[in-house]
């Protein structure tokens, strides 16, 4: 397994939105998620705010019977007023555990700045959220009966990876090899990200769930969305406005 830790692809602009997204994800994990209150408290939070494929597919929250079956050892409350479609976006800022968060944020840190520079701050933010929504909807469409929560920025970050691959396929990416963590290599992005995508694609047929498994299909959908959008609209550098000299008074 290859873990990217940096790239040799400098930017000339400050990636403010990428930094904001990093701070938002970490802040939600540390300040909003009930880390010290046990699994049941976190499941209750996810039930009230996170995406659940069955809810998105039918447009309404889970019934009391479905909620009771989610975690038999927990006394979960129903969420009758839950905005199930808004939850698709909100869910991208929740993470199942610290490793889930760390992995997503590492990939965003390594690859997000170059994508933000190409698209601009506001468009990058819109696209990041769009990639996350596409990933979530794709999973819900293919798993319309699933009552398990789908959390994490993986789909949105996968979109960033797909965009980076189209923009900078030959950029050198520094990776460490698991379990040889002290062995660092510099490989082209097409190899690193291509291998990552093929790994996700291979696992699509496996079980997928938030909190108990991995939604590989959401990763694949986000990656494809990022690559497709960039192929259509992002390969040409943005035109910079020319500042015309003001006439002398």
Q: What CATH number is given to the structural domain containing 69?
A: 1.20.1540.10
Q: What percent of the chain has pLDDT over 70?
A: 89
Q: Is the dihedral of CA 153, 213, 211, 67 positive or negative?
A: positive
Q: What is the pLDDT of residue 182?
A: 72
CA atoms within 13 A on the CB side of 127: 31
Cis-peptide, bond into residue 179, ω within 30° of zero? yes
Residue 241 included in any domain = no
Residue 178 included in any domain = no
Residue 47 included in any domain = yes
Residue 53 included in any domain = yes
Secondary-structure breakdown of the chain: helix, strand, coil percentages, each rounded to the nearest 5 = 55, 10, 35
Residue 7 included in any domain = no
User: Is 155 within 8 Å of 219 (Cβ atoms)?
Assistant: yes
Residue 1 included in any domain = no
Residue 242 included in any domain = no
Q: What is the pLDDT of residue 249?
A: 42
Q: What is the pLDDT of residue 208?
A: 46
Q: What is the pLDDT of residue 212?
A: 45
Q: Is 27 exposed, middle or buried (0-12, 13-18, 19+ CB in 10 A)?
A: exposed
Domain residue limits at 146: 13-167+189-233
pTM score > 0.85 for this model? yes
Q: Collect the ranges in the chain with pLDDT lower than 50.
A: 207-212, 241, 243, 245-249
User: Is 158 within 8 Å of 219 (Cβ atoms)?
Assistant: yes
Backbone angles phi, psi at 57, to 5 degrees: -65, -35
Our count of domains for the chain comes to: 1
Q: What is the pLDDT of residue 243?
A: 46
End-to-end CA distance of the chain: 65
Residue 196 included in any domain = yes
- CA angle, 220 then 168 then 88, to 5°: 30
């Amino acid at each position: 397994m290859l873990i990217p830790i940096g790239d040799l692809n400098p930017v000339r602009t400050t990636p403010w939105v990428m930094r904001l997204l990093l701070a938002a994800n970490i802040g939600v994990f540390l300040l909003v998620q009930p880390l010290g209150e046990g699994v049941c408290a976190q499941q209750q939070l996810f039930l009230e705010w996170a995406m659940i494929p069955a809810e998105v597919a039918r447009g309404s929250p889970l019934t009391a019977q479905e909620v009771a079956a989610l975690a038999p050892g927990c006394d979960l409350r129903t969420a009758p007023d839950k905005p199930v479609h808004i939850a698709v976006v909100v869910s991208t800022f929740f993470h199942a555990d610290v490793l889930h968060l760390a992995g997503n944020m590492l990939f965003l840190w390594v690859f997000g700045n170059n994508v933000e520079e190409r698209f601009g701050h506001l468009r990058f933010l819109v696209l990041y959220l769009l990639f996350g929504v596409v990933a979530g909807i794709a999973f819900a469409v293919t798993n319309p009966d699933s009552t398990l929560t789908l959390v994490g920025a993986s789909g949105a970050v996968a979109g960033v990876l797909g965009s980076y691959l189209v923009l900078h396929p030959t950029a050198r990416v520094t990776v460490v090899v698991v379990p040889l963590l002290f062995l660092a290599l510099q490989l082209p992005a097409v190899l690193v990200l291509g291998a990552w995508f093929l790994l996700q694609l291979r696992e699509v047929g496996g079980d997928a769930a938030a909190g108990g498994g991995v939604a590989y299909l959401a990763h694949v959908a986000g990656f494809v969305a990022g690559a497709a959008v960039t192929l259509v609209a992002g390969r040409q550098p943005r035109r910079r406005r020319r500042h015309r000299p003001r006439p002398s008074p």
